[in-house]
């Protein structure tokens, strides 16, 4: 049937075929990995922007007292903070 030389040829052919097939498979895996990394980075940036927009909206709607209280200032420092954040009087 098959001699030793034939089995060596079959083995070498299988190894060569696996080597040839592994190149495109590797490149396909690298491509998919890059796409997954890009999608994950995009999702993280969208999440960060949404959180930032929520924080900006909360700060925009807060008054001076709430802003100074959220910082964690002492009572004396909070009064000074409110005084500085209050809009100036229209009359000179």
DSSP code, position 1 = -
pLDDT digits (tens, 9 = 90+) for 28-46: 999 999 999 999 999 999 9
Distance CA 15, CA 17 (A): 5
pLDDT at 88 over 90: no
Q: Grade residue 91 by pLDDT with cuts at 50, 70 and 90.
A: low
Per-residue confidence (pLDDT) for residue 89, from 0 to 100: 67
- Domain of residue 55, residue span: 9-85
* Dihedral angle sign, alpha carbons of residues 29, 35, 37, 40: negative
In a domain, 49, yes or no: yes
Using an 8 Å Cβ cutoff, are 70 and 82 in contact?
Answer: no
Domain count, the chain: 1
* Residue 2 domain-assigned (yes or no): no
Note whether residue 57 is domain-resident: yes
91 belongs to a structural domain: no
Q: What is the pLDDT of residue 38?
A: 96
pLDDT in tens, 41-82: 999 999 999 999 998 888 888 777 777 777 787 777 877 887
């Amino acid at each position: 049937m098959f001699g030793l030389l034939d089995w060596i040829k079959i083995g070498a052919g299988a190894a060569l075929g696996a080597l040839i097939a592994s190149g495109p498979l590797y490149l396909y895996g690298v491509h998919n990995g890059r796409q997954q990394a890009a999608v994950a980075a995009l999702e993280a940036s969208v999440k960060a922007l949404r959180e930032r927009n929520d924080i900006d909206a909360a700060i925009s709607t807060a008054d001076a007292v709430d802003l100074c209280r959220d910082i964690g200032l002492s009572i004396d420092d909070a009064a000074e903070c409110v005084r500085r954040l209050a809009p100036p009087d229209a009359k000179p």
